[in-house]
Chain A
Amino acid sequence: SQQGEEDPQALSIQEGENATMNCSYKTSINNLQWYRQNSGRGLVHLILIRSNEREKHSGRLRVTLDTSKKSSSLLITASRAADTASYFCATDRTGGGNKLTFGTGTQLKVEL
């Protein structure tokens, strides 16, 4: 079953703007991860945030996690056309055997 729901489903912005994507989940987690997928390609791991962490940065990426609301957000600052891709959150559920359950994804399009 789908653990994560992401919104928006699609997002179109201009280059240089910030892009924010949200992920909500249903059960308790060990960690939450964000992945990127270019059209028709495999997944690239972006960032992992543990359940006891609230915020994490990696380059132009900022991830927040609110376990009380069971939600996370991914912020991409100063977006570039090359950031155009689908972004998925994935949860490592507590007691889930370290299996990842993916969200529905956000399709980001960054226009020049």
Chain B
Amino acid sequence: GAVVSQHPSWVICKSGTSVKIECRSLDFQATTMFWYRQFPKQSLMLMATSNEGSKATYEQGVEKDKFLINHASLTLSTLTVTSAHPEDSSFYICSARAGQLASGRYEQYFGPGTRLTVT
């Protein structure tokens, strides 16, 4: 099956610094990528949707100036957490969507996640 990678898998940073997380689709072109965050023992919450070459669409309540998303190519999207604070500590998961199937459904593949800890 298709593979989506994330880098780094975990990161610890100091409060006030910025952290960049990469999401790559390794063997397919992803027209759309999604970024989710997940708190311990909770569900995934969609943060934003990004399409290659255009601005990301953020979900309600997600600060676009704090969570910068860049979708520079069909295989790479980045999430930058700017001026990180301890409350930004979370598990961030990206997902990449491949082309439309005959059924009308899109295949969507998830990365392994990045655990961010802000001290």
A7-30 near B? 1/0 per residue, CB < 8 Å? 000000000000000000000001
B31 to chain A, nearest CB (A): 11
A102 at the interface (CB under 8 A from B): yes
Considering only CB atoms, which chain B residue lies closest to A35 in the complex?
B110
Query: Out of A35, A41, A101, which one reaches B46, CB within 8 Å?
Result: A101
Taking the complex as formed, is A81 at the interface, i.e. its CB lies under 8 A from any CB of chain B? no
Q: Count B-side interface residues using an 8 Å CB cutoff.
A: 25
**Which B52-104 residues have C-beta < 8 A from chain A?**
91, 93, 95, 97, 103-104
Distance in angstroms from B11 CB to nearest chain A CB is 14
Q: In the complex, which residue of chain B has the Cβ closest to the Cβ of A107? A: B41
Q: Which residues in B have their C-beta under 8 angstroms from that of A104?
A: 42-43
**Contact indicator B43/A42 (Cβ below 8 Å):** no
Interface residues of A, dominant DSSP:
strand
Q: Could you tell me how many residues of chain A have their Cβ less than 8 Å away from some Cβ of chain B? A: 24
Q: Is the CB of B49 within 8 A of A100?
A: no
With a cutoff of 8 Å between Cβ atoms, the chain B residues found around residue A40 in the complex are: 91, 113, 115
B44 contacts A by Cβ under 8 Å: yes
Closest Cβ of chain A to B93, distance in Å, is 6
Extra contacts besides A42-B111, A100-B34, A100-B46 (6): CB < 8 Å = A42-B6, A43-B93, A97-B49, A98-B97, A99-B46, A102-B36
Q: List 8 A-B contacts (CB under 8 A).
A: A40-B113, A42-B112, A43-B95, A50-B103, A92-B105, A102-B45, A103-B43, A105-B42
